[in-house]
Amino acid sequence: MAFRAVDLWQGRWSGLFTSMLLHGGWAHVAMNAVGALAFGTPVARLLSRGLGPLIFVALYIVSGAAAALGYGLCHPGSESYLVGASGAVFGLIGASTRLMGGHGRVMPLFHSAVLKQAGAWMAANLLVGLIGLAPGAGGAGIAWEAHAFGFLVGIVLIGPLGRWFGPGSDLRPARV
C-alpha cells in the first residue's frame, strides 16, 4: 500500500492514494493529525455548506495524491517507500495560507501576505527536509518534495473551490 516512484513507471498507481493511510509510527500519525486539525479547520469552515464537505475531502485526497505523484516525478525509478498523509496535510496548509488574515475569505494568490507566508512555509519545509529534524521521523527521510507539491495544490485550488462551494459572503477576495 506504500508508494514507490518505480511503481509509476510500471503502471501501478494505487499507492498514490493508499500511501496516505500508512504512517511510520504513532508520532507520525499524531503530527499529521494535529496538522490536519489545525490547518483543516479554516478550510472546513469555508467549505461547510452543500457539497462543501465532500469538496474538502476531495481537496485532501487530491493534495495527497499530487504530493506522492510529484515526489515520484522528482525521484523516477526510486524504490524507497513513501508513507503518510503529510502531502495531504500540506495541501490544507496551502489552502489555509490563503484564508489566514482574510477574515473567512480567500485572499488573492499573489497577495504579499500570502506570498510571504508561503515562502516561510517552503523555507521551513526545505530546512526540515534537508536536515531531517522532524519528530517521529525515526531516522527516515522526509519527503519535503511531496510536502511542496501538496502545498502547491492546496494554495492554488482553494481559490476556485472557495468561489464555487464556499458561502456567498466569503466569495469576494479579501482587501487586506
Give the model's pLDDT for residue 133: 56
Instruction: Please write the tens of the pLDDT for every residue from 111-158.
Output: 999 999 999 999 999 988 877 655 544 545 788 999 999 999 999 999
Q: Which of 147, 153, 4, 150 lies closest to 75 in space, CA to CA?
A: 4
* pLDDT confidence tier of residue 107, bands split at 50, 70 and 90: very high
Give the model's pLDDT for residue 171: 43
| DSSP conformational letter for 132 | -
| DSSP conformational letter for 98 | T
* Predicted confidence (pLDDT) at residue 46 exceeds the cutoff of 50: yes
Phi, psi dihedral angles at 123 (to 5 degrees)? -65, -45
Rg of the Cα atoms in the chain: 16
CB within 8 Å of 125: residues ≥ 6 apart: 90, 144, 147, 148, 151
* Predicted confidence (pLDDT) at residue 38 exceeds the cutoff of 90: yes
Give the model's pLDDT for residue 86: 94
Instruction: Please write the tens of the pLDDT for every residue from 69-100.
Output: 999 999 998 898 899 899 999 999 999 999 98
Q: Provide the percentage of residues in the chain whose pLDDT is more than 70.
A: 90
DSSP-based three-state secondary structure for 42 = helix
Q: Which of 64, 68, 72 lies closest to 9 in space, CA to CA?
A: 72
Q: Are 80 and 4 in contact (CB under 8 A)?
A: yes
* Predicted confidence (pLDDT) at residue 169 exceeds the cutoff of 50: no
Q: Are 105 and 173 in contact (CB under 8 A)?
A: yes
Give the model's pLDDT for residue 9: 83
- Write down the pTM of the prediction: 0.88
Q: Are 88 and 60 in contact (CB under 8 A)?
A: yes
Give the model's pLDDT for residue 174: 53
